[in-house]
Chains A and B, each alone.
Chain A
Amino acid sequence: MFFLYNLERRVTLHPSYFGKNMHELVTGKLLKDVEGTCTGSYYIISIMDTFDISEGRILPGSGLAEFTVGYRAVVWRPFKGETVDAVVVSVNQHGFFAEAGPLRIFVSTHLIPQDIKWDPNATPPQFTNNEDTTIEVGTHVRVKILGTRAEVGELWAIGSIKEDYLGTLQV
């Protein structure tokens, strides 16, 4: 789910940047540092604006100036039970991996309807029920997130398509 979230971050600036456009530099550095990162439970998708850049404080020792910047960002947090659309990126006999933006989702065979079976002989290998559903690399699927796990710098999720209205999306 997407949120507009007020966050705060400390940005340090090298002394050589000190000058009248420091705030721009701070903002630029903030964008560079923060956008597209994962903090553990959510991804920072985009920074809308910064609203509060504190006075810089020189850090003893390094000479860097530290600014505390308040900013507003669009964040995305995947929730358990949330349904997302994703693109299949790899398929193996244990299930398939799909990506919903930056989030990788694994759908185990246990969480795929019984009638959709692993077909290793197809090219490319796929899950199929020999009717309307075929899951292979590149397929668009609608997945319900069952659990998430945070790793350093990324999130992981397992999902299910074993419910009504889940599964492949007709393009």
Chain B
Amino acid sequence: MSDPRDYHDAESEEEDDFNPAPADMSDDEIKGDAEEDEGDNRPAAKESAAARKRPATTPHHDDDEDEDENANEGGEGDQEEGEGDDDDDDEEEEDEDEEIQGHRRKRRRDKRNAFFDIEAEVDDEDEPEDDEEAEAENEGFIEQEEPGDFGEAGRLESDRRHRELDLQRDRMNHEDLQKEAESFVRKYGHRRHARGMGDTSVVPQRLLLPSVDDPTIWGVRCKEGKEREVVYSITKRIQEKMGTKDELGITAAFERGGPNSIMKGLIYVEAYRQTDILQALDGMLNVYPRTRLLLVDIKEMPDLLRVQKTPTLEPGAWVRLKRPLKYAGDLAQVQDITENGLDVRVRFIPRLDYGVRDESGTNADGKRKRPIMGPKPPQKLFSEVEARKRNPRNLTGNPQTNVWTYNGDQFEGGFLVKDIKIQHLTVSDVNPSLEEVTRFTSGGEDGVENIDLKSLAASLRDSNATTAYLPNDVVEVYEGEQKGVIGKATKVQADIVTLEVTEGELAGQTIDVPTKGLRKRFQLGDHVKVIGGSRYRDELGMVVKISEDRVTLLTDQTNTEITVFSKDLREASDIAGQGSLGQYSLLDLVQLDPTTVGCIVKVDRESLVVLDQNGDTRQIMPSQIANKLPKRKLAVAADRTGSEIRPDDVIKEYGGMGRQGKIIHIHRSYVFCHTHQTTENAGIFVSRVSSVSTISAKGGRINAASSGPDLDTMNPAKKLNPVGKNDMPPPRQVFGRDKLVGQTVTIRKGGWKGLLGRVKDTTDTHARVELHTKSKVISVPKTDLMVRDSVSGREIKNYENRRPGGPNGTPTRPQERAAPDWNGGSRTPIAASSARTPAWKTPSGGGAGGRTPAWGKGGDGGRTPAWADGSRTVNPYDGSRTAYGSGSRTPAWSSGGSKTPAHDFGSKTPAYGGSGGGGGGGDAWGSKTPYGASAATPGVSATDAWGYTPGAGGSSNAYDAPTPGANLLGAPTPGALNAPTPGAYNAPTPGAPTPGGGWQSGWGAESAPTPAAAAPTPGASGGGYYGAPTPGAYTADTPGPRYTDDD
């Protein structure tokens, strides 16, 4: 039966099967059947056939039957017609209805008629399933038919009679049905009318407004909070009195109570007469009809019934308690709402002190005690153990479910669960903070955070009215007709926001939307600031996730993720601001106590978190900070390798955690560094200076001496004449015997000018001269003296210079300046002695030559290298200065190599340069270490501090004295130099000092100043009174190696 029409047929067939069997008719049939049963079975079969045929052949009857059907079906038919229209004339309507129905049926029956002659087959074909039983029946009948053979005529006769009977019966039936239908119409006709009216008509509302004909409404005083109860009891009374003789005359009763309504304490009763009300409410509890009744003005009636949306409490919502007083202001969560909507079952954190104070609220005599005022016990989840300890009698419960009753209160999972009247709750502006809410969730037995953010959001949204929407906020409408609209707020007035729509179909339009349905809209990656009541207030961050109105952001300061409501956010500029509290801001260095400093690693609203120098973090109030240490940009420290570190350098911890970071503060021996590697303490860690090593200095500086402009690297003037300003002058040597003492001098100035004398004693500036001419000792400024050879009487220039300790400002100076050779010489002892030594010697040529070596050896020449090397080797900065030590510079003291050529002495000073032919010698000089070693080896004066320098050993200086070489020119020196240091100084050395006169000639004045200078010494004053020291010093001195090179 795939065809729906077929299905209809089946249906109608069924209908037909039972419809024509009203009680009366079936009675007839049964009667008839009974009659015919006695005689023959065949009529029954005919009967059944006729029954089948009947509907088709008698359309009229069919109508009746329909009528009948309608009547029988009662409600159903009513409904059908009722739905039809509200016309008064049911008959008419019914006719129409029937016509339609009739038509429908006719169609169906026509169809069936077509099959009638071959009924069995057709039935079979048409409704195989349905007629299987019928078929079986038919077969039975047919079989029964066959045995009795009445012949064709008999059969026709019987058929006719049956038809007659059928018709007759139908007619009777029809009349019955008509009557019945009429009675039904009588019975239900008007009702149908009423229903039709109520169901379908659309009556303009204004026509429904109450008029003077309608009952009036009276307001009746009742007990506050009992409004609903009273109304319930009125309805109950109405039901009781219903149908009795004293039915209540009131038509309606209602209340507009509620905790915040101004109509509380009143119920409203609708009745025609005031007395009805008095009667109805007589003797009822909590209602006072005897007081003045308020007649409600007709005009006000509709307003009284206007539906006002009351804030609905849903399970899970957050409320605040007003009562019990102990819990006033506490947050509670709605668990359930009673049916009457008056009580709410809430769950909150108890404040119990377990009998420390008597909590029962009653005295022994049962009187209610005045509640003790005082500090509330702290909020704490109910503890069964505590209760059992203190007050076991009042405790009952089930440890399995963790439900306890204590002092009449019920505790579930530690929370106090209580029914509280709505009016004792604050429902709006709850503003639960996340901390409070978290306390509720953390109590969950599994400890899993299951904050119902939805209900939280709902609670918060109530207080949304105060949410600040500001012009230019991008907002989204999430509720109401304009849902989904996105726009930019242009104007905000009270709780109406005017938006300029930016997206979608409405783009460009301006609409007004209440804030209730609005939320701010952000996009991933937006830089936002938390505002409003969230505990993350003032945090800045970037949005990483948005779901509905919950936004997750990554905070700038701590790189942690927090989730807040979009209403608590504002777009911030893309510039990261760092938190600050008062004068203290993130990463400031503050003094906590006289011995402790700390770096601020977190700024909260009221407190700071500080990482102190010991690596501990502590939370402090701003008032606990002694003072803020200004940032010292120029702070310098030395790391573990001695390199200098400054703020903003990148360092790495040596050992420990090996953290690497940028220095933000240096305080005494502590460095506070910032790293991106970790988010702990905002990436700040503290370390000791001595346990970090520099990785890269800011701006590529490698130990630049100062942070000012580096004048050395670029200043052309310095490049031209690079006198190393870093070079340390040789230590002043103020001790030792002045060489001048005992010398023969002439006085050049003053009253004694021209007189010859002998120096008896000296001070720094003056000499006491014993005149030869006159036995008198006079004091003369040293500068006015001219030293002469005691034998030849020749002038010895620069003699004073032997005294190395002479400060630059000594009177000798002017003289030195005057003489070009001196110029270098004067400096030589101090800075670049060896380098210059040859220089000044050169010009002096033969004249002063004799002296040169002398002073070179005795004074500085000898020492210079010694000091250069010696002092440097021990210098802590050695590493960094190594460059100086390199061959070219060592002898020169300050890049002597480079200077030498400048002075055009290149050829003469090959030894200095460490270059040139005498590479060996140069090498020896080049690296101090070998030098130092070799110098020491001579053992000339191993014990002496100066001893390790051969020069010193050779010199005749006071401190050099111990060295054997001091006394003799040839003998000691070679020993000192050659013997121990052949490797270092190379073979040539021996040649150097020894040659004596030989090399004197060999060396031109210009070609080898030193030797030239040296030459005279041995030659001239081999046994001279100062001859001895000079050669000694000289040989020991650098020159030795130098000219070996040349050789």
Contact of A97 with B by CB under 8 A: yes
Query: B554, A108: Cβ atoms under 8 Å?
Result: yes
CA distance A69 to B676 in the complex (A): 35
Stretch from B32-40, B273-281, B712-720 contacting the other chain: B712-720
> Which residues from B are CB-within-8-Å of A158?
525, 542, 544, 554
Q: Given the known inter-chain contacts A14-B709, A32-B699, A90-B677, please indicate yes or no for A149 contacting B576, CB distance below 8 A.
A: yes
**Chain A CB within 8 A of B224 CB:** no
In the complex with contacts A147-B525, A149-B576, A110-B714 CB distance below 8 A: no
B527 touches A149 (CB 8 A): yes
Asked if residues B575 and A40 are in contact (CB atoms below 8 Å), the reply is yes
Q: Which one, B576, B699, B715, contacts A156 given CB within 8 A?
A: B576
Contact B542 A149, beta carbon cutoff 8 Å: yes
**A-B pairs with beta carbons under 8 Å apart, 12 shown:** A16-B717, A17-B709, A25-B714, A92-B679, A94-B561, A146-B542, A147-B574, A148-B525, A149-B574, A149-B576, A150-B576, A158-B544
User: Is the beta-carbon distance between B711 and A14 smaller than 8 angstroms?
Assistant: yes
A148 to B576, CA, bound (A): 10
CA distance A151 to B573 in the complex (A): 11
Q: Does A9 contact B (CB under 8 A)?
A: no
Q: Closest residue of chain B to A32, judged by CB?
A: B699
- A1-27 CB mask vs B (1 if < 8 Å, else 0) is 000000000000010110101000100
> Which residues from 512 to 541 on chain B have a C-beta closer than 8 Å to any C-beta of chain A?
524-527
Query: Restricting to A113-171, which residues have a CB under 8 Å from any CB of B?
Result: 145-151, 156, 158, 160
Q: What 3 A-B pairs have minimum CB-CB distances, sorted nearest first?
A: A147-B525, A146-B525, A110-B545
Cα of A90 to Cα of B679 in the assembled complex, Å: 11
Contacts of B714 in A (CB 8 A): 17, 25, 28
- Chain B residue numbers with a CB within 8 Å of A100 are none
B97 within 8 A of A: no
Chain A residue at minimal CB-CB distance from B699: A32
Chain B min CB distance to A35 (Å):
10
Contact bitstring B679-708, A, C-beta under 8 A = 1, else 0: 100000000000000000001100000000
Q: Is B614 an interface residue (CB 8 A)?
A: no
Interface string of B538-570 (1 = CB under 8 A from A): 000011110000001010100111000000000
Neighbouring A residues of B716 by C-beta, 8 Å: 17, 19, 21
Q: Is A106 an interface residue (CB 8 A)?
A: yes
- Closest Cβ of chain A to B180, distance in Å, is 73
Selected from A14, A40, A149, the residue in CB contact (under 8 A) with B556 is A149
Complex interface bits, A24-60 against B, C-beta within 8 A gives 1, otherwise 0: 0100100010000000100000000000000000000
Q: Contact: A147 with B676, CB < 8 Å?
A: no
Distance from A42 Cβ to chain B, minimum over Cβ atoms (Å): 13
Q: With a CB–CB cut-off of 8 A, which chain B residues contact A148?
A: 525, 574
In the complex, A129→B700 CA distance in Å? Answer: 42
State whether B576 touches A147 (Cβ < 8 A).
no
Which interface residue of B544, B554, B561, B575 has the most chain A CB atoms within 10 A? B544
Known: A147-B527, A149-B542, A150-B576. 14 other contacts (CB 8 A): A16-B709, A16-B715, A16-B717, A17-B711, A25-B714, A94-B561, A108-B561, A110-B545, A147-B524, A147-B574, A149-B574, A150-B574, A156-B556, A156-B576
Chain B residues whose CB sits within 8 angstroms of the CB of A145 once the complex forms: 525
Report the bound CA distance from A107 to B94 in whole Å: 77
With an 8 A cutoff between CB atoms, is A74 at the interface? no
What A residues does B542 contact at CB under 8 A? 146-147, 149, 158
Does A111 make an interface contact (CB < 8 A)? yes
- Residues of chain A within 8 A (CB-CB) of B559 are 94, 106
Name the CB-closest residue of A to B559: A106
> Would A147 and B526 count as touching, CB distance under 8 A?
yes
Query: A147 to B714, alpha carbons, bound, how many Å?
Result: 43
- In the complex formed, the residue of B with least CB distance to A97 is B676
Query: Do B715 and A147 touch (CB < 8 A)?
Result: no
Report how far A16 CA is from B714 CA in the complex, Å.
9
Q: How far is the CA of A90 from the CA of B545 in the complex (A)?
A: 21
Q: Given contacts A90-B676, A90-B677, are A110 and B715 in contact (CB under 8 A)?
A: no
Q: Are A146 and B524 in contact (CB-based, < 8 A)?
A: yes
Q: What is the CA–CA distance of A17 and B544 in the complex, to the nearest angstrom?
A: 52
A145 CA to B561 CA, complexed, in Å: 18
Shortest distance from the beta carbon of B156 to any chain A beta carbon, whole Å? 88
Q: Considering the chains assembled together, what is the distance between the CA atoms of A156 and B676 in angstroms?
A: 11
B706 smallest CB distance to A (angstroms): 12
> What's the minimum C-beta distance from B64 to chain A, rounded to whole angstroms?
73
Q: Contact flags (1/0) for A82-110 with B, using CB distance below 8 Å?
A: 00000001101010010000001010101
Which of chain B's residues have a CB closer than 8 A to the CB of A92? 679
Contacts of A147 in B (CB 8 A): 524-527, 542-543, 574
Q: Which residue of B lies closest to A19 (CB)?
A: B716
B544 touches A108 (CB 8 A): yes
B153 to chain A, nearest CB (A): 93
CB distance from B707 to the nearest CB of A (A): 13
| List of A residues within 8 angstroms of B677 by Cβ | 90
Report chain A residues within 8 Å CB of B526.
147
Q: What's the least CB distance linking A129 to chain B, in Å?
A: 20
Contacting B715 at CB < 8 Å: which of A17, A97, A111?
A17
Chain B residues lying within 8 Å of A28, measured Cβ to Cβ, are 714
Contact partner of B554 among A16, A19, A21, A106, CB < 8 A? A106
Given A25-B714, A28-B714, the answer on whether A150 and B575 have CB atoms closer than 8 Å is yes
CB distance from A96 to the nearest CB of B (A): 12
- Nearest Cβ on chain B to A151's Cβ, whole angstroms: 5
Within 8 A of A (CB), among B54-107: none
Q: Which residue of B lies closest to A90 (CB)?
A: B677
Residues of A within 8 A of B560 (CB): 94
CB-CB under 8 A from A104, the residues of chain B are: 676
C-alpha spacing A150/B575, complex, angstroms: 5
Q: What CA separation (Å) do A3 and B545 show in the bound complex?
A: 31
A51 to B524, CA, bound (A): 41
Complexed CA–CA distance, A79 and B523 (Å): 15
Q: How far is the CA of A149 from the CA of B543 in the complex (A)?
A: 12
A106 to B677, CA, bound (A): 12
A136 to B677, CA, bound (A): 14
Say yes or no: A108 contacts B545, CB within 8 Å.
yes
Smallest CB–CB gap between A140 and chain B, Å? 19
Cβ-defined contact, A110 with B711, below 8 A: no
- Nearest B residue to A160 by beta-carbon distance? B524
- On chain B, the residues within 8 Å of A80 by CB distance are 525
What residue in chain B is nearest A80 (Cβ atoms)?
B525
CB distance from B558 to the nearest CB of A (A): 11
Residues on A with C-beta less than 8 A from B679 are: 92
Q: Which residues on the B side are within 8 Å of A19 (C-beta)? A: 716
CB distance from A134 to the nearest CB of B (A): 20
* Docked complex: B798-837 residues within 8 A CB-CB of A: none
Interchain CA distance A25-B700 in the complex, whole Å? 17
Q: Given the complex of chains A and B, what is the CA–CA distance between A151 and B556 in angstroms?
A: 10
Closest to B648 in A: A153
- What residues on A are CB-neighbors of B700 within 8 Å? 32
| Complex: A32 Cα to B698 Cα, angstroms | 11
Interface centre among B525, B543, B554, B699 (most CB of A within 10 A): B525
Report the bound CA distance from A16 to B554 in whole Å: 50
Picked from A21, A40, A111, A151, the residue with its CB within 8 Å of the CB of B544 is: A111
Cα distance, A148 to B524, chains bound together (Å): 11
Report the Cα distance A149→B699, complex, angstroms: 23
What CA separation (Å) do A80 and B543 show in the bound complex?
Answer: 13
A160 to B576 alpha-carbon distance, docked (Å):
20
How many Å lie between the Cα of A104 and that of B662 in the bound state?
Answer: 15
A146 vs B676: C-alpha distance when bound (angstroms): 20
In the bound complex, CA of A114 to CA of B527 (Å): 24
Q: Indicate the member of A21, A97, A145, A146 with the most B CB atoms within 10 Å.
A: A146
CB contacts (< 8 Å) of A106 on chain B: these are 554, 559
Task: Find chain A residues with CB under 8 A from B525 CB.
Answer: 80, 145-148, 158
Most buried by B among A14, A17, A106, A147: A147
A110 contacts B527, C-beta separation under 8 Å: no
Measured CB to CB, the nearest residue on chain A to B711 is: A16
Known A25-B714, A149-B556, A149-B575; contact A110-B544, beta-carbon cutoff 8 A: yes
CA distance A106 to B575 in the complex (A): 17
